[in-house]
Amino acid sequence: MSDAAALPGQPRGGVLSGPATARTVNVLAPNASAMTLDGTNTWIVAEPDSDLAVVIDPGPLDDSHLQAVIDTAERAGRRIGLTLLTHGHPDHAEGAARFAELTRTTVRALDPALRLGEEGLTTGDVITTGGLELRVVPTPGHTSDSLSFHLPADRAVLTGDTILGRGTTLVAHPDGRLGDYLDSLRRLRSLTVDDGVHTVLPGHGPVLDDAQGAVEFYLAHRAHRLAQVETAVEAGHRSATEVVAYVYADVDRSLWPAAELSVRAQLEYLGEHGLI
């Protein structure tokens, strides 16, 4: 879910269903909106010589989309062996139960309420289905259950809504917390510095080839927004609604309700740190 700030990254162009890296293929869900950009990116991940694939974020409950994901895998000579969720928002997870039924797979997620099967996902887990090495990275903040998946062989990270291919994400207060989100961005930055990750495969929008640049932009954007919110409060704008009108005056009003969630998270963060 986006709050629509401009991201000066290096996207590969338009969002298209198809290969993104040696091990990933995107199937774009038909749920485009102001909040979901071009739609949800459903990722099929598999080793090049494997007949098993992992699907990350089946997306909305749309049988035509879910079948398109299955058909895409089958055309490549693969069957779905596992379903993973980056987080529980409906545009990513609503179709998971139906997809699991169609593919006879389990669903693994951080939130127990989203799981189908006995196994969840925790920090340090490594997915090895079909010979993959897919590492679970905790990235709470957008939501408390947000995860990313590090794909070392492609020097890529699948970020769900933590980093988008266009715009910036919201912190979905009260479940999402800004302090957690900033820590998650720093964790992703360490992947770009220490592990050589250069590609972001987002939950919405195009692939980004400059992962470190994207993370640095997100951190700078959050610092800038925090300063704006602090200034708004100093100017007498106390409620989240008033701060949104002050800080997001140049943003489409249809996005103000989403922006208000992030502002509430920012006000909470500033209060916790004694800055307002």
pLDDT tens-digit readout, 191-213 = 999 999 999 999 999 999 999 99
pLDDT at residue 52 tops 50: yes
In this structure, is residue 12 part of a structural domain? no
In this structure, is residue 5 part of a structural domain? no
Q: How confident is the model at residue 275, as a pLDDT?
A: 82
In this structure, is residue 224 part of a structural domain? no
CATH of the domain at 127: 3.60.15.10
- The two structure tokens encoding residue 247: 């800080």
pLDDT band, residue 58 (cuts 50/70/90) = very high
pLDDT at residue 2 tops 70: no
pLDDT tens-digit readout, 126-150 = 999 999 999 999 999 999 999 999 9
In this structure, is residue 244 part of a structural domain? no
Q: How many domains does the chain have?
A: 1
In this structure, is residue 87 part of a structural domain? yes
Q: How confident is the model at residue 23, as a pLDDT?
A: 98
Residue type, 187: R
Q: Which helix (H) or strand (E) holds 213?
A: helix 211-234
In this structure, is residue 160 part of a structural domain? yes
pLDDT tens-digit readout, 28-40 = 999 999 899 999 9
Taking the C-alpha atoms of residue 250 and residue 194, their distance in angstroms, rounded to an integer, is 38
In this structure, is residue 38 part of a structural domain? yes
pLDDT band, residue 8 (cuts 50/70/90) = very low
The pLDDT > 90 percentage for the chain reads: 89
Taking the C-alpha atoms of residue 145 and residue 132, their distance in angstroms, rounded to an integer, is 23
pLDDT at residue 70 tops 50: yes
The residue segments making up the domain with residue 39 are 18-211
Separation of CA 141 from chain center: 11
Taking the C-alpha atoms of residue 9 and residue 7, their distance in angstroms, rounded to an integer, is 6
Q: What Rg do the C-alpha atoms of the chain give, in angstroms?
A: 18
Three-state DSSP class for residue 114: helix
Q: How confident is the model at residue 6, as a pLDDT?
A: 42
pTM listed for this prediction: 0.93
Mean pLDDT value across the chain: 94
Q: What are phi and psi of 38, to 5 degrees?
A: -80, -10
Per-residue pLDDT, averaged over 174-186, amounts to: 98
Taking the C-alpha atoms of residue 127 and residue 2, their distance in angstroms, rounded to an integer, is 28
To 10 degrees, the CA torsion angle through 272, 2, 195, 85? 100
Q: How confident is the model at residue 15, as a pLDDT?
A: 58
Q: How confident is the model at residue 62, as a pLDDT?
A: 98
In this structure, is residue 159 part of a structural domain? yes
Per-residue pLDDT, averaged over 76-103, amounts to: 98
